[in-house]
Chain A
Amino acid sequence: MLTYITKKHAYTICYCVCFLFFLTPVFAGDPVYPAAMIPDSLKKNAHVVKRMEEVVVKINDPRDVRVTTHFVITVLDAEGEKYARVIESYDKLKDLRSIKGTLYDALGLPIKKLKQSDIQDMSGVGSESLMTDDRYKQHAFYYNVYPHTVEYEVEVRYNHSFYLPYWVPQEDESFAVQQSKLVVTAPKDYVVRYRNFNYKGEPAVTDDGGDKTYTWEVKNMAAQSDEPFAPRWYKRTTTVLLAPAAFEMQQYKGSMNTWEEFGRFAYILNQGRDQLPDGVKQTVHQLTDGLSREEKIAKLYKYLQEHTRYISIQLGIGGWQTFDANYVASKGYGDCKALSNYMCALLKEAGVKASCVLVYAGDNAKDVTEAGFPSTRFNHVIVCAPGTKDSTWLECTSSFYPVGYLGGFTADRPVLFVDETGSKLVHTPVYTMEQNQQIRHISATIAETGDMTLKADTRYTGLQQDDLHARINMLTKEKILERLRQAGYFSSYDVNGYECKQLKESLPAIDEHLEIAAHNYATVTGKRMFLEPNLLTKTGRRVTADTARKSDIYLADAFRDIDTVKITIPEGYTPEALPQPVALQSIFGNYASKVSVEGNVITYMRSIEHKGGSYPASAFPELEKFYNGMYKADRARIVLVKK
């Protein structure tokens, strides 16, 4: 519950996502919530059962929002233990007013009350930021007799209404919920915006003349099974997102009924922070005068990459408001906001129009920002220079990215383009299957002993080069080699050569050359030799559904791999068993592999075209067939026999 979520993703900004949790305990004398009262239907697959919860959000005024979360959880086994605790963050925008708690035994009799001295108060700075004002408090009873029940009440106060809590009564698959309620109260004239997911109907609304109260409630939600390739959890369970219409944060006022309004607020918050010192202005002109728009962007992006570095400092409203351009120029560092703001200022000086763009970054976070529900669900800032045909996108926290490339961290998702008047939600570039490729040629030789030497030449493009790009740019040569040795390609091997070349293309591409000597790759038993012709590109997983699939299937980015492998075997061997050609066609993509032998050369061809996107739950058997088919085909073995 009370999940504390750190903001320390490598590039983070902000305090975008807010976490909420709260309530009002009873602490009555009667046994509360004996474990025996839990219906069997809620125990199935569950590690914990939320017996009750009440989340009360009281908006007193735009600068005073109280959130009280009161919940009672029965922990069924040790696996559920991690939910029976409170971890709550606080900072300059959020005051953690109180934590109360009680531990009950299986019968519901109180064993122990939380003592304030047992609450740990810790720094939340973490290792990704130089400094933030984040702190957190945590408490747990650490009781290990099951079942037992904990009750907590946590009260927080926001001194702003920029973001509001959200409600996800079922916190993950292993959670069953007997009853949970969200109650939002606000002055009658204060508009509360909300977005429901998997909630039947609308909240009950009451009006006592002064305040308006909205109530959502769920009952008897059974635990779900853990499903691979599933959409984000909150879209699979009941969720209510809340956001303000009008809000205040410190001396700033704004509204977010539309993206345009929100963008305007973000603009005003950072307005006037783009003044460059004269020296830098001169440098900009020296570098760019007389160049084309594209050349100017490339030059200045390179200048940014060479003269600044990423350092995160987040204090109070500084989670949203940037350090100014002068700060970045003099210190040579900044966070995503500050570096993006600085980049925009450089471009502006060179006469290129560009804006900051708010994004929810993360390799698996394409769908966090709800396009239809303007709210603060962002954690990062990038830059967009709109062009007549194509816009140029710039990730300003990376010292290595090619100009105009976003990578899996921010590509393919709705983002907010911030502008004085024309703020709007736009979509970052999508990298397609044709762009995300791995084309590999291997030539290998196998000796009589089964030892193999191979040379593999691979071209990676688009998203498929992201990891390699990071590795070759960020690690020392020794570490890169050590990674290759530890990767476990074969049962035992040495890496004898490795080289990478980054190609100067508009779509990032890397050519990799790898030489390996694998000990006993082929198994030699008497006159036979056994070997798998697929040397380096194998699908990792078998997929099985233990229960009927419930959630939709969500596959990340599309990609294509093509392998051509030539293996020279010792003279005198002929095939005794060869894998049959495999061709799998499915709505998720296509796969083909084929082995042929000519003289003492084995040729193995493999290709996979894998689509991304969402598919209905009913397609799961087809996904199983596709993945398991590939898994098997990738491990097919050739048996050779010496005549």
Chain B
Amino acid sequence: MRSRSIVFPLQLAAACLFALTTFSQTRDKVRFGKVDPEDFAATSFEKDTSAHAVVIADIGSSEFQVERDHFELTYKRFKRIKVVDKNGYDAASEEIPLYISGQLEEKLINLKAVAYNLENGKVVETKMESKSVFTDKYDKNHILKKFTVPGVKEGTIIEYTYSVTSPFYFNLQPWNFQNEYPTLQSEYSVTIPEIYDFVFLKQDINSMLTVKTTVDRQTYNVTYESNGPTGASQHGSFSANTVKNVWTAKDIPALREESYTTSLRNHITRIEFQLSAIKYPESPIKPILGNWQKFSEDLNKDENFGADLSKNNGYLGDVVDQLTNGLKDDTAKARRIYNYVRNNFTCTDHSSLYLTKPLKTVFSSHNGSEADINLLLIAMLRRAKLHADPVVLSTRNHGFTHELYPLKSRFNYTMAAVTVDTLTYFLDASRPYLGFGRVDMSCYNGHARMLTAESVPVYFNPDDLLEQKSTFVMLMGGEGGILKGSLQQYPTYFESCAMRSSIKDKGKDAYFKGKEKDFVAETVISGVELENLDDNEEVLKLKYDFDMKADDAGMIYINPLFTEAMRKNPFRSQERRYPVEMPCVMDETYTLNLTVPDGYVVEEIPKSAMVKFNENEGVFQYLIQQSENSIQFRSRIKLNRAVFAADEYNSLRDFFDMIVKKQSEQIVLKRKS
């Protein structure tokens, strides 16, 4: 059973939920339709943060109810928002996504929306008419119900309430306690009959949630599939304990985007659910969630994932034979097949765990999602009798996977692994710039799974992705006040990828013409040599000569790093709320040999320096030395870690400040008088 997932941007995510009205135990007793003049008084959030709107209450519930003879989920939501100023008007418009799958669909019922304005000390209501609710058929599986509350001005309080009934009983709605506006009170109550076993996945970094649990008993009258020896459907009535959990949070600040954050999903205060087992009366427990082995087995058997991989796939025969013809070495075969798939198939979407169409169609249409393409790659590798398996993961913008629970919804990406002897190569044929055995930066998001029978955990940790770069420059005097240099560089792997596609796109000449503009002084680049331009597996090697006009008037000032100096500190904010999550670790080395031009002497050189970050977690070296008429210079930036806690932010920022400062310093040459 595949659970649906609706992927919408975060601000909508809050809207994706459903709801319930009152809670007698809540102190504030916010109820739909009960708005008093004192409710218009300014909240602390307005005073402190100049928020455009404040969510006064966001109260939801999910319950299992019997509809005719089967269980349905009823999600109710009640939300009250105060529109503080004109920029908070967006809070008055709402979208409710509904999921449809074949004959089954979610339904929106009992939608009511009202605006309250305080006029001459009295509360005046404006109700939304039902014909003001629009239905947008978003795509095959989604309908958006859209509305905006009428009569909204600065200071208006708006409320809406609605229910969504869903036949997708396994898909218990998650709840975000945090959204783009600050929230005074957020509450979600979930009542589950004990026949369903759900895992609760709570994310509450700042410990804002409290929970209250009560147990009750209810009788249900339903038809259900027995897992007994007959396996027949049974109809009957049974009573079961129900467990009700109410999670509450108060005074929740608005979400804030920060740079170098993989995904706010990892930080937002939220609860979600996963069905782990069904226990109908007098039936054995039917496990749903299972363990990682089961996860692997399910996916490998799934029609929409791995089912075709174990087949003969005769249609691949000709191509695979042709590709591997004459090759003895398994790695060579795998490489050939990989290159073929990467070069001949276009990826149309990079966020799909499952096949979007049958493998055979992927093969004939030459396009598909990254899952389509990489599963086809596996089929072809297996056809060539190689040992290949799927690898599934979650990309950085999709949040982490859960190492403990095998939750399919946490995964959004499928790659391939091929094992030759004891060596395993990870392959992604969906990105034309990648090479054999290379994994895209966006996939370095920690825990992933290789779907062998044992289901092996694999880890793509940013700490293990070393982006290494080295640059060598020689510089000497030329004729007529020109400085002549030559540069040789090995950019990092992903810089190489970017340069390759840029050079292919613009052409070599235009690319290096553009590069000339990166020099501070007027510069002409010539004699460009590129190695590995067509070999995606390796880093580029590039060489060029450059002629640079010195600024002169008796003195020449040279930044020894030229275009390679780090000119801006990447950490610009003064404070940090979430961890800094960089995609890789860096090691950049730069070396210069400068021969002082004839007729000049060294007037001044910068001082050498070395700075360590947290003892041995990072180092910045700036070493310069003069002997006779030559200067040797070397700069190295090395960080051994990619992820830093929020409280390390200031020292990280200072470390980069030092780099930027030193890398702006100048060598001064003076004309001999």
Contacts and interface: CB of A to CB of B under 8 A. Distances in A.
Same complex for A and B? Answer yes
B495 interface: no
Contacts of A488: 568, 572
A306 B153 contact: yes
Contacts of A546: 510, 513
Nearest to A485: B572
A478 B577 CA distance: 14
B557 interface: yes
Interface in B143-188: 144, 146-148, 150-154
A551 B220 CA distance: 77
B664 interface: yes
Interface string B501-517: 00011000010010001
Given A333-B150, A546-B513, A144 B136 contact: no
A130 B346 contact: no
Interface stretch (A270-278, A419-427, A526-534): A526-534
Contacts of A445: none
Contacts of A494: 574
Contacts of B49: 476-478
The listed residue with most B CB atoms (<10 A of its CB), out of A331, A485, A488, A542, is A331
A400 interface: yes
Nearest to A120: B139
Given A476-B49, A525-B665, A526-B605, A491 B555 contact: no
B518 to A, nearest CB: 11
B52 A525 contact: no
A313 B567 CA distance: 47
A457 B132 CA distance: 48
Contact of A485 (B138, B573, B665): B573
A335 B485 CA distance: 61
B664 A520 contact: yes
Interface string B610-621: 000000000000
A399 interface: yes
A638 to B, nearest CB: 11
Dominant secondary structure of chain B at its interface with chain A = mixed
Contacts of A120: 139
A143 B346 contact: yes
A331 B574 contact: no
A64 interface: no
A141 B661 contact: no
Interface in A508-558: 519-520, 523-528, 530, 542, 544, 546
B151 A331 contact: yes
B146 A309 contact: no
Given A141-B367, A476-B49, A492 B510 contact: no
B553 interface: yes
A330 interface: yes
Contacts of B555: 576-577, 639
A158 B461 CA distance: 56
B348 interface: yes
B215 interface: no
A78 B432 CA distance: 11
B31 to A, nearest CB: 25
A142 B604 contact: no
A145 B153 contact: no
B151 A112 contact: no
Contact of A525 (B51, B345, B505, B666): B666
Interface string B343-387: 111101000000000000000111100000000000000000000
B136 A123 contact: yes
A559 B89 CA distance: 34
Nearest to B570: A492
B367 A491 contact: no
A131 interface: yes
A471 B599 CA distance: 55
B442 interface: no
Contacts of A492: 568-569, 572, 653, 656-657, 660
A142 B366 contact: yes
A474 B87 contact: yes
A635 interface: yes
A501 interface: no
A289 interface: no
A9 interface: no
Contacts of A55: none
Interface bin, chain A: 35 or more
A142 B348 contact: yes
Interface string B314-346: 000000000000000000000000000001111
Contacts of B567: 491
A491 B665 CA distance: 13
B606 interface: yes
A486 interface: yes
Interface in A68-118: 78-79, 81, 112
A309 B367 contact: no
A486 B572 contact: yes
Contacts of A475: 87
A530 to B, nearest CB: 6
Nearest to A450: B661
A219 interface: no
Contacts of A452: none
Contact of B153 (A332, A478, A486, A530): A332
A311 B148 contact: yes
A520 B89 contact: no
B93 A130 contact: yes
B642 interface: no
B609 to A, nearest CB: 12
Nearest to B357: A118
A333 B5 CA distance: 34
Nearest to A451: B661
A311 B93 contact: yes
Nearest to A399: B86
B553 A528 contact: no
B42 to A, nearest CB: 15
Contacts of B666: 523, 525, 528, 530
B137 interface: yes
Contacts of B660: 491-492, 520
Contacts of A637: 557
Contact of A306 (B92, B154, B517): B154
B347 to A, nearest CB: 8
B152 A309 contact: yes
A434 interface: no
Given A399-B86, A476-B49, A125 B557 contact: no
Contacts of A635: 520
A234 to B, nearest CB: 25
A546 B146 CA distance: 50
A482 interface: yes
A584 interface: no
B86 A577 contact: no
B163 to A, nearest CB: 22
Interface in B237-285: 256, 259
Contact of A123 (B51, B137, B510, B668): B137
B607 interface: yes
Given A450-B661, A491-B660, A79 B150 contact: no
B134 interface: yes
A211 B24 CA distance: 77
14 contacts: A122-B138, A123-B136, A130-B134, A135-B137, A399-B86, A474-B87, A492-B660, A520-B664, A523-B661, A523-B666, A525-B666, A526-B668, A530-B557, A577-B551
Interface of A: 78-79, 81, 112, 120-123, 125, 130-131, 135, 140-145, 306-307, 309, 311, 313, 330-333, 399-400, 450, 473-478, 482, 485-486, 488, 491-492, 494-495, 519-520, 523-528, 530, 542, 544, 546, 576-577, 635, 637, 639
The 8 A-B residue pairs with the shortest CB-CB distance, nearest first, are: A142-B367, A492-B569, A331-B150, A520-B661, A131-B134, A142-B346, A144-B346, A399-B86
Given A130-B93, A492-B653, 15 more contacts: A112-B364, A142-B365, A145-B366, A309-B152, A311-B93, A330-B150, A331-B151, A332-B115, A476-B52, A491-B568, A491-B569, A525-B606, A528-B668, A577-B551, A577-B553
